[in-house]
Amino acid sequence: MNLYELVVNDTEKVALDDLFFSQENKTALLQTIKEHKYLEELKKYNLKVDNKILLHGHSGCGKTTTAKAIATALNKNIVIINLSTLINAKIGETSKNVKTIFDKAIREKAVLFLDEFDQIGKSRESDDKDVAEMRRLVNTIIQLIDYFPTDSLLICATNFYNSIDTALLRRFQIKLKFEMPDQHQLNVYYDKLLADFPEHLQDILRKYDISYAEAKDYIHTTMKRQIIAELELKEQRINETII
């Protein structure tokens, strides 16, 4: 398979106001976005912008959506790669593939979003059977991150923060944790999702102790079932009238 077949150039536009996460996370992201908007002005004072962000925490709580929102706010392309698809039996080949992806993002001055970062950023102290090869891969990634230019943005995501090599963790100026939403946060999210549908369909049982992604899937599945049921009933009545 061609390496670029694994890369997603996502064109979905996501507004910052559409994000559901802590105020602390939103404040940090707004600061980063402002820094990149005024990149050239800050350079005059030898001030470097933060351009390496690590998103970590529960799956389905908005890490990918956050990366898309940052790209939208900065009017940049976003290059998305799931690192689990990039791993090769030969660690040296994986290093080459990772470098190719970095080069693509740098050429395009894009937002590079690496999902499942723990797949290639595992601690060099781990008991991995190929620990020597893994160390070389981590060293390659450290070099790529160190020389990543400020006019591009690197965002990595992981559900396994504690498995990431500490030297890699130090490279990220911003680390944002994504928590599972509480009942109030889910209610706000449910209200937003349901507002897109007819009012008579909105009164459905709400599930809690789930992620935003699970809540969205649940609402969409329920709505499809209800809408199809209405359409079938309408067709049945029409057919009965004809008969």
Tokens linked to 96:
């080459």
As a CATH number, domain 3-178 is 3.40.50.300
> What pLDDT score was predicted for residue 46?
93
Provide the residue-wise pLDDT of the chain in tens; the chain has 243 residues: 455 555 666 567 888 888 887 888 889 999 999 999 999 999 999 998 999 999 999 888 889 999 999 999 999 999 998 887 777 655 567 788 888 889 999 999 999 999 999 887 665 555 555 566 677 788 888 999 999 999 999 999 999 999 898 889 999 999 999 999 999 999 999 999 999 999 999 999 999 999 999 999 999 999 999 999 999 998 888 887 876
Q: What is the pTM of this model?
A: 0.83
> What pLDDT score was predicted for residue 136?
79
> What pLDDT score was predicted for residue 91?
58
The contacts of residue 150 (CB under 8 Å, 6+ apart) are 39, 48, 49, 51
Is 197 buried (19+), middle (13-18) or exposed (0-12) by CB count in 10 A?
Answer: middle
